[in-house]
Every structure is written in structure tokens, then in C-alpha cells.
Structure 1
């Protein structure tokens, strides 16, 4: 796509690999393309839907996102670390009781989830 579509060449700045949100957008587009063209249960309408729906929206978002980099790469801001805020929020929910974490009573899956300090992602305690 990056080479075949003139609109993609205009929208996607050379610094795109330095922007995680752009990588995510292009990854989504690749997954949609694989589904449309390589999925075992695909049909003709999958390719039509892909071409009509996914690239135009993705290219619009990428053009907006990468507009600041038109002259030269503009680095993203510092990465946020919300681990402490999330830890405090989970502690408060636990203090309020299990009904807060899982409607209908019981602990539910959320009560066992904490935020990993290394990656700020969800982790399950051992």
C-alpha cells in the first residue's frame, strides 16, 4: 500500500516508524488487508469493503497525524506513566468492595488485574 497508492505516499511521512500511533494504524490496515485477501473464508465483497472502507479512513487519520512532520520529523511528547494513578484507582475500587469491580456480586476477572510497573500493561499476579 505504501508504494502503490499515491495518496499513501502523500499522507505517510518518512518518519512514520517513529510514531507508535501510526504504526498501530498501519498494522490495523495490514490486518484488514490480510482478512480481505488471504482469509480462507473470504469472498469478493471482503476486498470491495476493504478498498472502500479501510484505506481512505486510515489515510485521512495518518495525514492529520503526520501533518506536523511535513517539513521535518516532530517527536512525540514524553510517554505518560499512569501506573500510580491506575494503582490508586484499583485500590479504591477494591476498598469499595467486589460489587464495584464485577456487577452482580463476586470478584470477577477485574479484581485480579494489576498494572505492571515495567510496561504499564495489565498483569495478573502469580
Structure 2
């Protein structure tokens, strides 16, 4: 079903159903008018079959209208709960965990660790891709946390369904497993390359962002501003504590692979 981008899909569907209902009503009138003329030229069976087809179409429209009405009711209930002060369900994020809240972090890990043992690591590809130093990689914990919550929603949530389960098996779990293997290829506790205690990676050349605001806001049809000598020096790979360890100009050997 096509609808305008600025129109709610439910509203568009209701309008479409209303139009279909009008068409069915007009068709019913036509059939009634045709019956008298067809009595002399068409068999009684043909007339009956045509009448049954119109009746079936009318029943389909009625069922679809009932379905859309249930959707509208559920949406109204959701809006009413939100307006009454109920907070919408929060999606958890390891990277977005509140700072200095050890209890929240502990609660997440107390769920994640047994889930990984009982569910995730039952899959051979998951065991092969997960590095032993996974807890040192926040991006890996982030992936595993949302995957666990997706599994819970698919199997145990209010809208649990075979469709959600199939999506978890066919798309979500393989995607997370593949990305984990890309995040930390060959990494291990004994060869973990992050320097303990040092600041995390800085955004490369963040201090040079102002010219890019001007460029992208008003002249993006041209190439960006040319890098200065200071940009090049700041962008080189080198001392991770001072330069952030990432670079747009990798002319020095990178450190160990994470």
C-alpha cells in the first residue's frame, strides 16, 4: 500500500479501506441492477456466483476495517499511558550507562553473563568469534547487550513471536557474531593492546572542526578545506596518549592490533 511520507500509515490505510468500501457498495448496486437483465441471458448459477463474490469482498473489507480499528485503539491506549506519565520502554546501552553507577553496571553483567553461557555461546560461530578479552572491548559488550535484549523480546516479551525468533536467528545473531570478529581479530588477554589507565581514543582532529562547519553548511558542492601542517601533524599516528591513536594521515606504523 502506498502512502504519502507526511501521512500516518494508519490514517492512509483507513482512507484506502473507506474507498474500497464505497467501491464494493457501488458494485453491489450494479449487481442488483444486473440481476434482472441477466435472468434472461445468464444461468442462475452464474448470477449466484457473482453475488457470492461481491459478498465475500464485502466481508474482507469489514474484517480489514476491524483490524485497523484495533490498531487505532492500541495506539490510543499507548498515547494515553504516555500522557499519564508512564515512561516509554528504555533501550539499554553499555556505552550509554550512567557514570559512577556501579549498581547499574553490575545488574547488566549479572544478566549478560549467564545469558551468554546458556544461550549465546551454545553456537559454535559465537564461541569462535568471541575473544577472551571481550570485557575489555566496550563495543563488544554493547553488541551482546542489545542481542540479549532482542532475544528476550523475541522469546519472552509481550509481542514474542516466531517471526521475531526467526529474525534473531537469521539476521541478528549472525550479524553480531560477524562484527565481534571484526572488532577484535586475534586479540587475547595476553596480547591485549589497550594501554591500561590511558585515556580512550580521541576524535581525530576534533579541534579542527570549525572550517568543516562552514564548508558543509554552505559549500558542500566543493571539496573540503585543505589540511594545514598542524592538521597533518595532529593527524599522524603516534603517541596514543597525546594524539588519540587514530589518524587521517597514517604515515607512521600503527600500534598492535586490537
Larger Rg: 2
Find the counterpart in structure 2 of residue 61 from structure 1.
179
Contact 1:22 1:62 survives alignment (8 Å)? yes
Is the counterpart of residue 73 in structure 1 residue 192 in structure 2? yes
Q: Where do residues 1-126 of structure 1 align in structure 2 (5 Å cutoff)? A: 2-3=116-117, 5-7=122-124, 8-70=126-188, 72-75=191-194, 78-80=200-202
Secondary structure of 2:185's partner? helix
CA–CA distance in 1 between the matches of 2:208 and 2:141? 27
Structure 1 regions of 5+ residues with no counterpart?
Answer: 90-126
- How many pairs are equivalent? 97
Q: Structure 2 vs 1, CA of residues 14 and 52 (structure 1 numbering), >3 Å: closer, same or farther?
A: same
**CA separation in 2, counterparts of 1:64 and 1:41?**
32
Larger RCO: 1 or 2 (CA < 8 Å, sep 6+):
1
CA distance in 2, matches of 1:72, 1:6: 25
Deviation at 1:53, TM superposition (A): 0.9
Unmatched 5+ stretches in structure 2: 1-114, 213-258
TM-score (norm 2): 0.31
SS in structure 2 of the partner of residue 78 of structure 1? coil
